Amino acid sequence: MQDFYAAYDKIVLGDPRETKLDPEEKRRVAVHESGHAVVAHYSPYAEPLQRVTIIPRGMSLGATQQTPSADRHIMTKAELESRLRVLLGGYAAERVVLGDVSSGAENDLKKATEIAFKMVAHFGMSDRVGPVYHEHRMEHPFLGQMLATEGGTSDATVYVIEEETRRILTDSLEGAVHLVAEHRSPLEHLTATLLEQETVEKHELNALLGPSVTLPGALPAEPLHARGP
Amino acid sequence: MQDFYAAYDKIVLGDPRETKLDPEEKRRVAVHESGHAVVAHYSPYAEPLQRVTIIPRGMSLGATQQTPSADRHIMTKAELESRLRVLLGGYAAERVVLGDVSSGAENDLKKATEIAFKMVAHFGMSDRVGPVYHEHRMEHPFLGQMLATEGGTSDATVYVIEEETRRILTDSLEGAVHLVAEHRSPLEHLTATLLEQETVEKHELNALLGPSVTLPGALPAEPLHARGP
Amino acid sequence: MQDFYAAYDKIVLGDPRETKLDPEEKRRVAVHESGHAVVAHYSPYAEPLQRVTIIPRGMSLGATQQTPSADRHIMTKAELESRLRVLLGGYAAERVVLGDVSSGAENDLKKATEIAFKMVAHFGMSDRVGPVYHEHRMEHPFLGQMLATEGGTSDATVYVIEEETRRILTDSLEGAVHLVAEHRSPLEHLTATLLEQETVEKHELNALLGPSVTLPGALPAEPLHARGP
Amino acid sequence: MQDFYAAYDKIVLGDPRETKLDPEEKRRVAVHESGHAVVAHYSPYAEPLQRVTIIPRGMSLGATQQTPSADRHIMTKAELESRLRVLLGGYAAERVVLGDVSSGAENDLKKATEIAFKMVAHFGMSDRVGPVYHEHRMEHPFLGQMLATEGGTSDATVYVIEEETRRILTDSLEGAVHLVAEHRSPLEHLTATLLEQETVEKHELNALLGPSVTLPGALPAEPLHARGP
Amino acid sequence: MQDFYAAYDKIVLGDPRETKLDPEEKRRVAVHESGHAVVAHYSPYAEPLQRVTIIPRGMSLGATQQTPSADRHIMTKAELESRLRVLLGGYAAERVVLGDVSSGAENDLKKATEIAFKMVAHFGMSDRVGPVYHEHRMEHPFLGQMLATEGGTSDATVYVIEEETRRILTDSLEGAVHLVAEHRSPLEHLTATLLEQETVEKHELNALLGPSVTLPGALPAEPLHARGP
Amino acid sequence: MQDFYAAYDKIVLGDPRETKLDPEEKRRVAVHESGHAVVAHYSPYAEPLQRVTIIPRGMSLGATQQTPSADRHIMTKAELESRLRVLLGGYAAERVVLGDVSSGAENDLKKATEIAFKMVAHFGMSDRVGPVYHEHRMEHPFLGQMLATEGGTSDATVYVIEEETRRILTDSLEGAVHLVAEHRSPLEHLTATLLEQETVEKHELNALLGPSVTLPGALPAEPLHARGP
């Protein structure tokens, strides 16, 4: 089974390169990944954890892998909010556990901002912006980043979209900080385990973190069951 | 007759591909299409329903087909408002029936925004903007999306156009939500039927939904009769 | 004489194509063209009517032809205002007679906006903007539409120009609505005649509409006589 | 001598083309040129009149020629203000004498705006803008019109420059209107003469208009004498 | 020695061309150059005068040459302010002595604006802007003028930079006007001498203007001595 | 050992060129470099000093070298703030010791602005901007400077980012000024030594400046130990 994962890792995440972190950095990465894992584990609608690792691969200093979801075609607002919370879980853990944030959250913030932007500007998920599609940014085919499409949106409306994007991300961060603080003890346990053995697999994660949350208290009218393989 | 429609479907909507939705997604698509159908059925000026399906085809996860209208050359303000209401019917149904909206409304919002924008900026249908043509966006010949034409409209005026566009879309959504809530029972009946048999044809739709609305209470001075084949 | 006009029509307006309007659309076109004709007939400074038709040709669903004016080199403010009133006569008639406007006024609004813009930005005809030339838009040599010239005008000044343009167009529309309402009876007579015989020539128009206005009450200090062939 | 001027006209102004103005247009051109001439004649710092004509040439419907000045290297603020007053003299005369302005002032407004813009943005002649050079527009080498240079000036500062430009042009127009109104009788005499003989030469102009102004009341500390050949 | 300077002039300033100024222009140039010279002579931190001339060369109608400074690597705020004062000395003299400014100051204003802009945006010399580098303009490699680099600075911040630039230039002009007014008698003496002999060399300048200022009253904590050859 | 450093200098900093500073400039450079050194020596989280020199090399007039840090992968907020303080140490010393700043700080301001911008816009280190990634600028691959990516950020949000960037830099400068003022005596000692011997090595620096600061009073919850070779 370990062999399978090693192969999977090579293919999906690239060959491990000889990235040499100093001890403080290593500890920070462990805290950061533990944050993602804890928020994913205790969030409704989030996909189940598969493994957590602090072995650097390619550009990544660590990784929290969730069960590869079925090829989803529709994402509800609640599912997207859950994904944002998980993405900001590493940043939240650094702030709560280490008292300071770092440049290591850059990529998480970038991904989370793109999702929150789409919720507001493309999916009609902000009451303030309303059921309006704003052709403002799209992913550039070559550069792999969001660019303005010159759709002619006014600066004032772009600002409203940004304010709503910021509100959604700030709420998501608060949710993540809350979950991290509430489950700090298992989080630190996970961090210590990661520093010892570098990778923690699904069964160990469940043992460390206890029962995960799949049916939240505040369900929509028709609950969507957790997706599985 | 089924054969004919299958052929028609292949030509117009593309070959059905093997899109595999999970059960929750399938239910959401059925609710969404039922929303379009119910709003179309009970809206004045909307074209009569032809069939509703949740069999995915091409990029589309479902479809609500209205009688192909004669090649129209002029659209009145009332007809355009009706079209907007139908476009937002799926979003309205997700909100009312499932308590949550999803990314599945993106394309509807995009089409509706383009229509509302033209009403305001090109057709003189907003008193606030007045009988003025704003050369602000046009469909890009290759990219198939609205782009700024650099017509030099000021940011302040673009914002007024956007506010009017948003007002029209918000009013249309309210209309759609009202119709969906008022006719929730036949809507849920249609959803259940769609989940059972995947496609519902015209005669079944009329049996399920009762008499449609073609002559509204608030007619313009000279009523325009419903168009038929 | 009919032969001559048929030839003239082919050359100037393009071959009649097989555009098939539904009855409601046809009635709307007749009302719209009657609006242009009535406003032209009763406006000072407007060129005399030649014929009105609802036979579609090329992109056009109908046409109101005025006497081809001599090759003018100078247009006064009063003449330009008259032209705007005539251009908005179709939109005014749809609103007054049919209680609703339509997408059919798009091209009229576009032409009227270009004229009003030039009055404000190039001809010094707005006291608020003053005797200043704003190099802001010009007709694009290939695309046939107004484009920003990147003359570097500030957004605030562009907005003032737009407000003045809107004011002029709103005033012109009020003038057109006033004339249409005042002369509604001959207008409806013309509409009915158009629906019967599709085209109405100059002599019939004069019989239907009575004496035209060429010398208005509110003349400038030195009246400019109506231009004729 | 007439031969010489005919040759000069061909070279400088282009061959006379067969431009056929209607009588109202011709009268308007005569009033317009008389306005330029009267303001030039009674303005301090303006170059002496050479001839006035309403024979169309090239794009021009008429012309007021001043003594070709020596190749000037420096223009003072007072000289530039005088030039603006002369440029707006035609527009002023149309308003005062005909009660209405026309599209015929477009080119005058364009030239005057360029001069006023340079006074404000390049020559430090506005106290509000101050002794600052704004790299905002320059003449395009091919298109012969002012274009933004993308010098990065803020919109707020561009607006201040435009307000100052407008103030200078409005003041210049007031000066021109004042001179036209004060000297209306010789102006109308000149207009009538132009309509009779189409061209009025220097000696006739001086006979018609009386002594010109070269030494104004409000001189700068060190008066600059009128330039002559 | 004269020969040497003639050669130097040819190389540095270009061949004298046959620029023919009228007497008023010549007098204005003499006053303008005297202004530069007087401000340079009485300003702390300014480089010592070498010669002043009103013989036109290339694009230049006159020149005030200061001792070629050693190849400087650092300029202090006080030295840059002194350079600005000298650059605006010609404009100041035209205003004080001739009561009117002219287009002849354009190039001085352009150079001064570039220096003041850099003080604010690149050197941290404005407390309001702070110790921030704004990548907003740079000299275009081919066009030889400042262009926006599209560094993405907001319009509001560009405006603050412009306000600070204007403040510095207005203060420098006030300083220049003060020095010109205080030393008007030697300035007029220099102007008269220039009109007589066209060029005034260093020793004559010192005789005409008296002792120069190298150690100002308001020194920084650690005075920087005047630079010499 | 000297030989080794000479080789190191050649490779890393380029060959010393014959840059000839005047005495005032040399003194300013010595003060400037002493400022960097003193702030680095007394700042928590800053990398240990290696040497300080006022021998010009390439574009640089002097250099303060810190121990080459291990290849860092993550920078905390506290470490980045420390780096900013060191970068502004030269500017601070010029202001405190010489009473005047100079153009010599341009490159320091540029680097510091880029770091502060990233803290705010990419790393989520400003509470006012929030956990949002703004795709606004990136380093241009060829030009080596920050350019707008046209990510479509609104002007209002760019301004907020700039205000936060300015706040961080102003705070950093205050910190640097405080350290410079507090340690002025060793700073002047270092300046004098630099002027005598041009370069001061690590052991001399430690002797001159006393014990450095590696464990600050205001530590984050989990202190990060100083990094060393």
Q: For the segment F189-222, what is each residue's pLDDT rounded down to a tens digit?
A: 999 999 999 999 999 999 999 888 754 433 333 3
Greatest CA separation for chain A: 55
Model pLDDT, residue C143: 40
Q: What is the pLDDT of residue B222?
A: 32
Q: pLDDT category, F68, cuts 50, 70, 90?
A: low
> In chain F, what residues touch A91 (CB-CB under 8 Å)?
124, 131
Segment among A187-196, D26-35, E63-72 with least mean pLDDT: E63-72
Model confidence at A1, pLDDT cuts 50, 70, 90, reads very low
- The whole-number pLDDT of residue B151 equals 56
Higher pLDDT, A58 or F153: F153
Q: Which residue among B24, B25, B33, B79 is the active-site one? A: B33
**pLDDT tens digits for range D62-71:** 888 887 655 6
Other residues' Cβ atoms within 10 Å of the Cβ of residue F20: 11
Between residues C22 and E12, which one has the greater pLDDT?
Answer: C22
Q: How many CB pairs under 8 A join B and C?
A: 121
- Give the pLDDT score at B47: 83
Specify whether the CB–CB gap between A39 and A46 falls below 8 A: yes
Q: Which of these is catalytic: F33, F79, F81, F164?
A: F33
* pLDDT over 60 at F145, yes or no: no
Contacts of E124 in chain F (CB under 8 A): 91, 101, 105, 109
Q: Is E151 on the interface with F (CB under 8 A)?
A: yes
The minimum CA-CA distance between D116 and chain E, rounded to whole Å, is 12
Q: Structure tokens of C134?
A: 């704003």
Task: DSSP for chain C, please give it.
Answer: -HHHHHHHHHHHH---------HHHHHHHHHHHHHHHHHHHHSTTPPPEEEEE---BTTBS-EEEEPPPP--S--BHHHHHHHHHHHTHHHHHHHHHHSS-BGGGHHHHHHHHHHHHHHHHTS---TTT-S-----EEE-TTT-SEEE------HHHHHHHHHHHHHHHHHHHHHHHHHHHHTHHHHHHHHHHHHHHSEEEHHHHHHHH-SPP-S-SS--SSPPPPP--
Of E77 and D13, the one with more pLDDT: E77
Q: Do chains D and C touch (3 or more CB pairs under 8 A)?
A: yes
Gap between the terminal Cα atoms of chain D? 18
> Quick check: B147 contacting A, CB < 8 Å?
yes
Contact A135 B112 (CB under 8 A): no
Residue A226 in this model has a pLDDT that exceeds 90: no
Q: How far apart are CA E35 and CA E172, in angstroms?
A: 13
Q: For residue A18, what pLDDT band results from cuts at 50, 70 and 90? A: low
Is A33 annotated in the active site? yes
Q: How far apart are CA D34 and CA D191, in angstroms?
A: 6
Query: Which residue does chain F place closest to A151, by CA atoms?
Result: F152
Assess B24–A contact: CB distance below 8 Å, yes or no: yes
DSSP sequence for F53-113: E---BTTBS-EEEEPPPP--S--BHHHHHHHHHHHTHHHHHHHHHHSS-BGGGHHHHHHHH
Lowest-pLDDT range, B220-229, D91-100, E153-162? B220-229
Q: C100, C149, C165, C195: best mutation site toward chain B, by most B Cβ within 10 Å?
A: C100
Better pLDDT: C224 or D180:
D180
- Residues of chain C with C-beta less than 8 angstroms from the C-beta of B157: 159, 162
Average pLDDT of chain F, as a whole number = 82
Closest Cα partner for B38 from B208, B224, B227, B218?
B208
Tell me, yes or no, if C109 comes closer than 8 A to chain B by beta carbon: yes
* The pLDDT of residue F87 is above 70: yes
The answer to whether residue E217 scores a pLDDT higher than 70 is no
**Average pLDDT, integer, range E206-214:** 82
Give the minimum alpha-carbon distance from E167 to chain F in angstroms, rounded to a whole number: 18
Are C and F neighbours with ≥3 CB pairs closer than 8 A?
Answer: no
**Residue numbers in E near F172 (CB within 8 A):** 131
Highest mean pLDDT among A51-65, B142-156, D185-199: D185-199
E30 to chain F, minimum CA–CA distance in Å? 33
Task: With cut-offs at 50, 70 and 90, classify the pLDDT of residue C223.
Answer: very low
Whether E123 sits inside 8 A of F106 (CB atoms) is: yes
Whole-model pTM: value is: 0.86
Question: Is E220–F169 a contact, with Cβ atoms under 8 angstroms apart?
Answer: no
pLDDT tens digits along B94-142:
999 999 999 999 999 999 999 999 999 999 999 999 999 997 654 444 4
H/E stretch holding E60 reads: none
Whether B22 contacts chain A with CB within 8 A: yes
Residues in chain C with CB shorter than 8 Å from the CB of D28 are: 74, 76
Residue E146 is nearest to which of D72, D151, D224, comparing CB atoms?
A: D151
Distance from CA of C75 to the nearest CA of B (A): 21
Residues of B within 8 A of C148 (CB-CB) are 150-152
Query: Is any Cβ of chain B less than 8 angstroms from the Cβ of C55?
Result: no
- Percent over 90 (pLDDT), chain C: 60
Please give, rounded to a whole number of angstroms, the shortest distance from the CA of E147 to a CA of chain F.
14
The pLDDT-based confidence of B13 (bands split at 50, 70, 90) is low
- Judged by a CB distance cut-off of 8 A, whether residue F132 touches chain A is yes
Q: Is C158 on the interface with B (CB under 8 A)?
A: yes
Q: pLDDT tens, B171-222?
A: 999 999 999 999 999 999 999 999 999 999 999 999 999 888 754 433 333 3
Contacts 24+ apart (CB under 8 A), B198-206: B198/B53, B198/B54, B198/B55, B199/B51, B199/B52, B199/B53, B199/B54, B199/B55, B200/B51, B200/B52, B200/B53, B201/B5, B201/B50, B201/B51, B202/B48, B202/B49, B202/B50, B202/B51, B205/B37, B205/B41, B205/B49, B205/B51, B205/B52, B206/B49
Which one of E33, E47, E94, E164 is the catalytic residue? E33
Chains with 3+ CB–CB pairs under 8 A to C are B, D
pLDDT at C70: 54
**pLDDT more than 90, % of chain A:** 60
Q: Which residue of B has its CA nearest to C164?
A: B132
Q: Is F59 exposed, middle or buried (0-12, 13-18, 19+ CB in 10 A)?
A: exposed
Q: How far apart are CA C110 and CA D126, in angstroms?
A: 38
- What pLDDT shows up at residue F166? 98
Chains that touch B (3 or more CB pairs under 8 A): A, C
* Residues from chain D contacting residue C157 (CB–CB below 8 Å): 159, 162
Is residue F159 less than 8 Å (CB to CB) from chain E? yes
Contact between B123 and C109 using a beta-carbon 8 Å cutoff: yes
Q: What is the pLDDT of residue A14?
A: 54
Lowest mean pLDDT among A151-160, B140-149, F10-19: B140-149
> Looking at beta carbons, which residues of chain C come within 8 Å of B130?
166, 169-170, 173
Flag whether residue C216 sits within 8 Å of chain D, measured between CB atoms.
no
**Mean model confidence pLDDT for chain C:** 82
Chain pair D-E, CB pairs under 8 angstroms: 123
At E124-147, the pLDDT tens digits run 999 999 999 997 654 444 444 444
Predicted pLDDT at B58 = 73
- Residue A67 is classified by DSSP as P
Q: Strand A146-148 vs strand B137-139: parallel, antiparallel, or unpaired?
A: unpaired
C148: tokens are 């920003």
Using the beta-carbon criterion (under 8 Å), do B103 and A124 form an inter-chain contact? no
- Nearest-CA distance A93 → chain B (Å): 29
| Inter-chain touch A133–B109, beta carbons under 8 Å | yes
From first to last of the 229 residues of chain D, give the pLDDT tens digit: 455 555 555 555 555 556 678 899 999 999 999 999 999 999 988 888 999 999 988 778 888 888 765 567 899 999 999 999 999 999 999 999 999 999 999 999 999 999 999 999 999 999 999 999 997 654 444 444 444 444 578 899 999 999 999 999 999 999 999 999 999 999 999 999 999 999 999 999 999 998 887 544 333 333 233 222 2
Per-residue confidence (pLDDT) for residue E204, from 0 to 100: 93
Min distance B1 CA to chain A CA atoms (Å): 31
A98-130 pLDDT tens trace:
999 999 999 999 999 999 999 999 999 999 999
Per DSSP, the three-state class of F118 is: helix
Contact B145 A132 (CB under 8 A): no
Element (H, E) at D50: strand D49-53
With beta carbons less than 8 A apart as the criterion, state whether A133 and A153 touch: no
Smallest Cβ distance to F77: which of A61, A101, A165? A101
Beta-sheet strands, E only, within B84-220: 137-139, 146-148, 199-201
> Do A112 and F133 count as a contact with CB atoms less than 8 A apart?
yes
**Contact at CB, A73 and B158, closer than 8 angstroms:** no
Least Cα separation, residue E119 to chain D (angstroms)? 14
Residues A18, A33, A81, A174: which is the catalytic one? A33
